[in-house]
Structure 1
Amino acid sequence: MTREGTFCLVLHSHLPWLPHHGSWPVGEEWLYQAWAHSYLPVVDLVRRFAAEGKRDVLTLGVTPVLAAQLDDPYALRAFHEWLGHWQLRTVQAGTLWRSDPLLRELGAHEYRAATRALEDFETQWRHGFSPLLRSLVDSGVLELLGGPYAHPFQPLLDERIRSFFLRGGLADTALRTGHRPEGIWAPECGYAPGMEAGYAAAGVRRFLVDGPSLHGDTAFARPVGASDVLSFGRDLEVTYRVWSPRAGYPGHAHYRDFHTWAHEVGLKPSRVTGKQVEPSDKAPYEPALAADTVRTHVKDFVETVVSRLRSLREQHGREAMVVAAYDTELFGHWWHEGPAWLEGVLRALPEAGVRVTTLRGAVDAGLVGPAVELPASSWGSGKDWRVWDGEQVADMVADNAALQERLLALPRSGARDKVADWAVGEAMMSLSSDWAFMVTKNSAADYARRRAAVHTSRFDELAGWVGRGPLPAPVERWARQDNPFGRLDARDL
């Protein structure tokens, strides 16, 4: 069979630190929904590929702050309880919906899903995510991407803080998995000219940017400037087939509607039906109908990839690649049918003559082009920095700049000081890119502003205690809860 070209799937797994910071709708509930509906099924899929002896199937990014949550003893216990409650809610749904055949079958479908998730967690996840992730990296089924500690928008960081967060994040991943990543998904694909020098110094050899940063020429990895650090661009012509700001497969009428709840049981009983249809008028979700649509969309995506690769080969005169990159949470959490679609695509592409591999595998295959000078950029609206540095968040940007000045002035002595370490951890949480994103996009903006303010306030309180002796018990309690990185050492800043 003639090979059409190379396809690289890149998944970016990230949530901000959520334990002990509220429950519904964007606190711990957010974490547990993503865990149950995305992380469990995606990891199960990759485990099955590994068991089949497959290698270099996909590139998986896991941010240190997410890995810390999926290893955290409190979060593990609470998620176990959440899964049990999910199963109980499905039993209740079966009782309430027994007079409606479609809803009754949906309740049974949901019960089976909850039971599988509970069994998977109890047999595979009870010691946290890191042992699982390490086994998958060891098997060679995936390439692991890392990143800075808590997903900051790096272009807006002081270079010293940026370096500290990145080096610490990579070291944390190495501690959890036994592998120090050579590649990263730069948070928000944020880039400022010259950042490649910091990447090279930290041992990063490849990173993601959005397609427009390369003027849409994403057919090959490109060295950045005079460095040997490679940039990979998302192919938006293919990526947006699945998920774009305006359209994509998850909005199909047959798929489960993310936004419509049966609040009496806490389940989602409806399909999308239509974009202008009121929640009360949406049709019941039918798993078999959705499964048929998944098969259609798998076929469509494979045809899109093959067509794109043929076009790129004709344009460049040699084999090219397509990089399709998404948030992991799209698959299952936001798009219920996403994991099934993902498996279908990864199995169908090789049958269509497409090499499926990792970013590392693409480099090994020689899919590298000439050097490029990248502009200041991101994956966000306008492909510039406006989401994280725009008018709506100007006050947060100013607060973060002032926080960084105080962070660099934090007292440090020759001996390690846990209070100073915890203070740095609070600053790190405050500088997460998630808060500005949520404010700009008006998605739980009040929660985001509150979180940024809480962590800044806690940094200032802890900074005042550095070198002054034991902390008051209440302060020490929240300081420990907010700082999952035991290796973080303020003296390294």
Structure 2
Amino acid sequence: MTEEGTFCLVVHSHLPWLAHHGSWPVGEEWLHQAWAHSYLPVVELLERYAAQGKRDVLTLGVTPVLAAQLDDPYCLRAFHDWLGNWQLRADFAATRWTDPLLKDLAASEHRASAKALNTFETQWRHGFSPVLRRLVDGGVIELLGGPATHPFQPLLDDRIRRFALNTGLADTEHRIGTRPQGIWAPECGYSPGMERDYAAAGVQRFLVDGPALHGDTAAAHTVGDSDVVCFGRDLEVTYRVWSPKAGYPGDPAYRDFHTYDHPSGLKPSRVTGKHVPPEQKRPYEPELAAVAVQRHAADFVDTVVRRLRSLPKPGLVVAAYDTELFGHWWHEGPAWLDAVLTALPEAGVRVTTLRGALEAGHLGGPVDLPASSWGSGKDWRVWDGEQVADMVADNAKLQRALLETLRPTDVRDPAADQMVREALLALSSDWAFMVTKDSAADYARHRASVHAGRFSHLADLIRIGATEKALDVAGELRKHDGLFGTLDARGC
């Protein structure tokens, strides 16, 4: 055991199903930005660590819906086009920006886009799965899976919940070659008894938010009378980086995510100040940002060490973030991540995965978890509150209709497969989240309605025995949402 204790970083990669569904702010542009600015650099960092012989660097969650998009031929072609367009936009910015700092930024964007293009063309053209599999097989990361389409599991019928979970795990096994033993449950949503479904599906560990454990996150715990283990996110440490009100990315020196130069589509400004209007923000200066990265990395390491010293020995700290924070939302995030993962071992902290933490003995006694999530109030209000009461009612009705329509059969039915696929897409937790948080709420309601309508159309055709018509409709829909080829409705 190292002197100070153990630290686990969990990063979770998730975006809703966006292919074929429009442009910025919530369509394919969102996917491409995250792909270019988060997934490419984070994977590059991990591959560099692999070449250095490092193992058990971090725990990475990749939701099946995102994995499907990063392997999808349509998405691969579209992203390649986007990367080329990024380079053209950088070249255009160089012709219209006159400030020396912005001229340097345009040149930097050109170099970054050229590097991304080369990386994609030489390593990613066959999708994310071959890239990810190398990291998993090499023991560099621990991979977490999850249920198909990222539903809020506590609001699902038990039968549908089990099917979604097994479909998602099977999809990951199909892509990577191994079935995940751990998951980041969508929204960290939990209701008592779900651990039994996890155990039946082969899930051995999952993540909850710290308050579900009343802040007792210094060890993992078995849940109820099962052998399934939960880890709690340490909010005191996690919120140093990213909290509902503050965090490192808001530093004045960092690149401002929200301020655009609209003709080029690039982001030329630094944060400057919380209340500074976009037109008054100062140009981005990489040197200032680099100093802030080192300062914040040192602060985070100090925070982890202080936290570990305050815990009974041996202590554990788990910090968890969306992968998209590192590079997409926070431009300097990958550099900060590199600095932290380098400095923590130098400070006497073991850095490992959730699996590695268990192997190191960080297992406490059993707990009975309450109904919980990571969202506002740490309960379910984001996904079943007053603002989305109509969506919750519609989803319950959809689930009843799905179970009433499905019939036992030994023969696989592509129309039934597509019907279930549309139902699961309609039940995605993202739509309620976006409505409750008023983040592109109209888009979210539209998407939920579109998938629910497609489900209803197919269900009606199947119920009346219009087999040929149902197959034709399913075939057309499959062209637009090529998601989860392994999904087999007979398992529901």
Common fold, TM-score beyond 0.5? yes
Count of residue correspondences:
488
1:90 is matched with: 90
Residue 398 (structure 2) aligns with = 403
Give the CA deviation at 1:24. 2.1
Taking a change above 3 Å as real, the CA distance of residues 473 and 490 of structure 1, as seen in their structure-2 partners, is: closer
Shift of 1:287: 1.1
Q: State the match for 2:60 in structure 1.
A: 60
Superposed CA RMSD in Å reads 1.2
Structure 2 spans left out of the alignment, 5+ residues: none
Please say if residues 426 and 483 of structure 1, whose CA atoms lie closer than 8 Å, have aligned partners that are also in contact.
Answer: no
Corresponding residue for residue 335 of structure 2: 340
Shift of 1:481: 2.1
2:329 aligned with 1:329, yes or no?
Answer: no
- Name which of 421, 425, 430 aligns with 1:425: 421
Offset, 1:2: 5.5
1:327 to partner: Cα distance:
0.5
Spell out, residue by residue over 1:298-325, the C-alpha distance to the aligned partner (whole angstroms, 9 max, x if none).
000000000100011xxx2x21110000
Q: State the distance in 1 between where 2:206 and 2:406 align.
A: 34
* Structure 2 counterparts to residues 194-273 of structure 1, below 5 A: 194-273=193-272
CA contact (8 A) 1:58 1:143 kept: yes
**CA separation of 1:363 and 1:172: change in aligned 2, threshold 3 A:** same
What amino acid does structure 2 have at the position aligned with 1:374?
Answer: L
- Corresponding residue number in structure 1 for 2:279: 280
Moved more, 471-480 or 72-81: 471-480
- Contact 1:84–1:118 under 8 Å retained in 2: yes
Spell out, residue by residue over 1:405-456, the C-alpha distance to the aligned partner (whole angstroms, 9 max, x if none).
0111123333111011001000010100000000000000000000000000
Q: TM-score, normalised by structure 1?
A: 0.97
Asked if 1:41 corresponds to 2:41, the answer is: yes
Corresponding residue of 1:479: 478
Matched AA of 1:459: F
Q: Residue 29 of structure 1 corresponds to which residue in structure 2?
A: 29
Q: Distance in 1 between matches of 2:233 and 2:68?
A: 27
Contact kept, 8 Å, 2:3 with 2:348, in 1: the verdict is yes
- What letter is aligned with 1:390? G
CA distance in 1, matches of 2:2, 2:279: 51
Q: Which AA in structure 2 matches 1:274?
A: G
Q: Assess if the C-alpha contact under 8 Å between 2:87 and 2:113 holds in 1.
A: yes
Corresponding residue for residue 16 of structure 2: 16
Q: Which runs of 4+ in 1 moved over 6 A?
A: none
How far is 1:469 from its partner? 3.2
How far has the Cα of 1:269 moved from its partner? 0.4
Corresponding residue for residue 350 of structure 2: 355
Can you list the C-alpha shifts for 1:30-74, whole angstroms capped at 9, x where unaligned? Answer: 110110111111111111111111110000000000000000000
Q: For residues 234-285 of structure 1, give each alpha carbon's deviation from its aligned partner in whole angstroms, at most 9, with x where no partner exists.
A: 0000000000000000000000111100001000000100110000000001
The 8 Å contact of residues 218 and 316 in structure 2, kept in 1 or not, is answered as: yes
CA offset at residue 122 of structure 1?
0.6
Alignment pair present for 1:373 and 2:368: yes
The C-alpha deviation readout for 1:344-396, integer Å capped at 9, x for no partner, is 10011000000000000000000000111100000000000000010000000
1:390 to 385, 394, 412: 385
Given the alignment, which residue of 435, 440, 447 partners 1:451? 447
| 5+ long unaligned stretches in structure 1 | none
Q: Secondary structure at the match of 2:334?
A: helix
**1:305: which partner in 2?**
304
Give the Cα separation in 1 of the matches to 2:410 and 2:366.
Answer: 43
Tell me, in whole angstroms, the C-alpha distance in 2 between the residues paired with 1:407 and 1:257.
45
**Equivalent position amino acid for 1:347 in 2:** T
Task: For residue 409 of structure 1, give the secondary structure of its aligned residue in structure 2.
Answer: helix
